[in-house]
Amino acid sequence: MRKLIIPVIVIVIATLLMSMFVVQEGERGIVVRFGRILKDDPKVDSNTVQNSTAEMENARIYEPGLHFKMPVFDRVRMLDARIQTMDDQADRFVTSEKKDVIIDTYVKWRIEDFGRYYLTTGGGDVSTAQALLKRKVVDSLRSEIGSREIKQIVSGPERGTPAATVVSDDDVAPATDIVAEVAPSKEVEGQRDQIMENVLKDIQVSAMKDLGVRVVDFRMKKINLPDEISESIYRRMRAERESVARKHRSQGREKAEVIRAKSDLEVAKILADADREARVLRGTADAKTAEIYSSAFGKDPEFYNFLRSLKAYENSFNSKNDILVVDPNTEFFKYMKESNAIGTAN
């Protein structure tokens, strides 16, 4: 008898341990028995929570804490009850103008109907849930984008967007730059916020109905043009900037020519005034000189002629290499002859 007590105790302890399970904080547990989710009884146990929907029976949901189940027959599935983020790769959409845009989005969601979620996702697989949710988001967003132009998509309410520019939305998320081709510098009716609101309402209803999840938030992080279109836009932007630069340069050259012409005119005017003043001064000086010469000539003409002849002799015979071929009887040698006569007489 004593030999049987120890195995019985071991079996009881093992059975008890197999009957217990712990639900961690931030999780919810459901029990599957023979492939079917365990439902709540009309009287809800204090350790369970009742989740009633029109489509599903009351699935028994286990909140954080210690719980018990039937060993061997029951299998516990833990589901994350926290808000989760689906931040997948960007997708390409076509606007009403038949232009492609690449939109990057994210979705905040959490499980609301755990029983429906478990059955729809094939055992609570998160990747399956996100794939189904992403399909709903893409379909709803494609419908919204297809009915609007680019300038309406990238602009918020009462905001105009210039051509091929960058718009930041501080209310969405950090580093949410939006680049797009828009009509040049005019006010447009921005509908970006309206698009996000419409998509959020749409996927909230369908996700709750089909997946049992509640979509908490939906945002468009970034809107880009495809690389081939962006490159053509950048080339056009560079061409426009170069055209503006050429215009400014031509205007600068024109203004430079005007300034140089004015400077040349001012210089010519100053030089003309200076030349005129110099001529006036030289004329006045020449007149004064002639007046002095005339006065001196009037006082002693013979002496004046003598001084003039001496000056002429000095200039003529300044160099020993000078040769003059003239008639000795000319008036030029008048005072030299008189000088010789005077010397002979003496």
Mean pLDDT within 167-172: 37
Residue 201's pLDDT is 92
Structure tokens at 172: 């969405």
The identity of residue 88, as a single letter, is D
Query: What pLDDT sits at residue 267?
Result: 94
Closest to 234 measured CA to CA, from 159, 155, 163, 149? 163
pLDDT at 126 over 80: yes
**Main-chain phi, psi angles of 229, to 5 degrees:** -75, -40
pLDDT value of residue 164:
35
Among 93, 38, 112, 95, which Cα is nearest to 68's? Answer: 38
Partners of 80 in the beta sheet? 27
Provide the mean pLDDT of the chain.
77
For residue 282, name the pLDDT band (cuts at 50, 70, 90): very high
Backbone angles phi, psi at 116, to 5 degrees: -65, -40
- Residue 171 — pLDDT band, cuts 50, 70, 90? very low
Lowest mean pLDDT segment, chosen from 26-40, 132-146, 281-295 = 26-40
Q: What is the pLDDT of residue 8?
A: 78
Kindly state the tokens that stand for 141: 């967003």
Range 61-71 average pLDDT: 83
52 versus 306: the higher-pLDDT residue is 306
Handedness of CA 304, 307, 309, 315 (dihedral sign): negative
Alpha helices in the chain (DSSP H): 2-19, 114-120, 126-145, 150-154, 192-210, 227-299, 301-316, 334-345
Residue type present at position 294: S
Q: Are strands 91-94 and 100-111 parallel, antiparallel or unpaired?
A: antiparallel
Side chain identity at residue 188, one-letter code: V
Cα of first residue to Cα of last residue in the chain, in angstroms, is 190
Second CATH level (architecture) for the domain 84-225:
2-Layer Sandwich (3.30)
Domain boundaries of the chain, sorted by first residue: 2-79, 84-225, 239-297, 300-345
Mean pLDDT across the stretch 181-209?
76
Helix (H, G, I), strand (E, B) or coil at 199: helix
Predicted confidence (pLDDT) at residue 160 exceeds the cutoff of 50:
no
Instruction: Give the side-chain half-sphere CA count within 13 A for 110.
Output: 10
- pLDDT above 60 (res 59): yes
As a whole number, mean pLDDT of residues 127-148 equals 91
Instruction: Determine the average pLDDT of the residues in 321-327.
Output: 67
**pTM exceeds 0.85:** no
Cα torsion 258, 264, 268, 269: sign: positive
What pLDDT score was predicted for residue 47?
45
Residue 29's φ and ψ, nearest 5 degrees, are: -115, 145
- Residue 275: the pLDDT is 93
For residues 262-283, average pLDDT: 94
Whether residue 82 contacts residue 190, with contact meaning beta carbons closer than 8 Å, is answered with: no
Structure tokens belonging to residue 54: 């029109």
Q: What was the pLDDT predicted at 329?
A: 67
- pLDDT value at residue 178: 37
Contacts of 117 (CB under 8 A, 6+ apart): 79, 111, 124, 129, 211, 212, 213
Res. 180: pLDDT tops 60:
no
Measured in whole angstroms, the distance separating CA 44 from the mean position of its chain's CA atoms is 59
Element (H, E) at 224: strand 213-224
The answer on pLDDT for 172 being more than 50 is no
**Main-chain phi, psi angles of 186, to 5 degrees:** -150, 155
Give the pLDDT confidence score for residue 299 in this predicted structure: 75
Taking the CA atoms of the chain, what radius of gyration do you get in angstroms? 55
User: What span, in angstroms and rounded, lies between the C-alpha atoms of 101 and 53?
Assistant: 39
Reply yes or no on whether the pLDDT at 280 is more than 90.
yes
